[in-house]
Amino acid sequence: MNLPIIDDSNEPALSPDIIPVGCAVSVRVPASSANLGPGYDSLGLALAHYDDLTITRTESGLTFEVTGEGADKVPQDASHQVVKAMQTAWKAVGLLELPGLHIKAHNRIPHSRGMGSSASAIVAGVTAANGLLPEELRLDDDAVLQLCSGMEGHPDNVAPSLYGQLVVSYAEDGGWHCLPIAAHDRVLPVVAIPDYEVPTKIARGLIPETVPHREAAINSGRAALLTQAVSTYPDFLLPATSDLLHQPYRAVAMKPSAALVSALRGQGYAAVISGAGPTVMVLANGKEERASVLDAIERLTSTSDINEYESSPISWRVLPVDIDTEGVMLTHEE
């Protein structure tokens, strides 16, 4: 599908007055983990770890209340990712002037850790902007996917945040498409979040332009297996999460995370780098294995090659999380 385009020279711009002062929406948007090992830029999993926002139309201006992750770092002006996403959505329907807004956000998704914080902000902004519009002007689901994916550059994080579950994404005919797949109830993620950051731009820059055909073929098979392992056959999670396409090349930028993945996989656990890292995610097969994974991570993160980054000590926040099954949720406030 092509994005809706407004020809500013021929179409009159909509007035911000189409959104009444006092109109408000709340949005809950899940984190996501992309790639899951071999599914580079094509597979993503929604995680039940959420950012919550309430956005209110005001008379004028742009004001913020931000708490939680990154509260002291995120910009509190029109360059905020949520505001940029709202502007993109409104521009698509012809609303070119930013109305007065108050944005209250409580962030739980860590920034620059490979848990889809940028994609979640985009999804939250587009969803909120769409919900504030009169019903007859709202974008349909496909247009929302195209806008969010276009802003992020690909859909592997935005699609899980939009729809929940495991999502396979692909490009065709100039647009993005995706297929959500229900996960088996025995697949229980654990995330280990270190307190150091690796910018996605740096992580992407480490991947070579070409890879050997044999490695690409192996990855293709593992990615196909992974959809079956997550949805139906969790006993195959360990081989299904094996990757040769991107994680080995990125390891130099996140040595503690790469060492933790290697150690966990050596013990039989389906560990991967979450997205561009440096968070490590394990897909445990059942509650007993998840408990064992938590114990293993506690032991392993006490070793020197895993608790130091560039000669400085690091700490790990370890969270058992469920798979989100609903995707982004919008509520109109009274």
Rounded Cα–Cα distance for residues 3 and 48 (Å): 30
What's the confidence (pLDDT) of residue 241?
A: 98
| Residue 196 near residue 111, CB atoms below 8 Å | no
Rounded Cα–Cα distance for residues 32 and 29 (Å): 10
Helices and strands (H, E) in the chain, number of each type: 10, 13
What's the confidence (pLDDT) of residue 303?
A: 84
Whether the per-residue pLDDT at 8 is higher than 60: the answer is: no
pLDDT tens across 181-214, in order? 999 999 999 999 999 988 778 888 888 889 999 9
Rounded Cα–Cα distance for residues 75 and 264 (Å): 37
What's the confidence (pLDDT) of residue 6?
A: 43
In CATH terms, the fold of domain 187-320 is Alpha-Beta Plaits (3.30.70)
What's the confidence (pLDDT) of residue 38?
A: 97
Whether the per-residue pLDDT at 12 is higher than 90: the answer is: no
Mean pLDDT over 86-95 rounds to 97
Domain with CATH 3.30.70.890 in the chain: 187-320
- List all residues 6 or more positions away from 279 whose beta carbon is below 8 Å from its beta carbon: 33, 110, 113, 114, 115, 191, 192, 193, 194, 257, 273
Known binding positions: 110-120
Domain with CATH 3.30.230.10 in the chain: 16-177+324-333
| Residue 179 near residue 209, CB atoms below 8 Å | no
Whether the per-residue pLDDT at 1 is higher than 70: the answer is: no
The CATH class that applies to domain 16-177+324-333 reads alpha beta
pTM confidence score = 0.94
Known binding positions for ATP: 110-120
Mean pLDDT over 212-233 rounds to 96
Strands, E, within 21-173: which ranges? 24-35, 39-58, 62-68, 100-107, 166-172
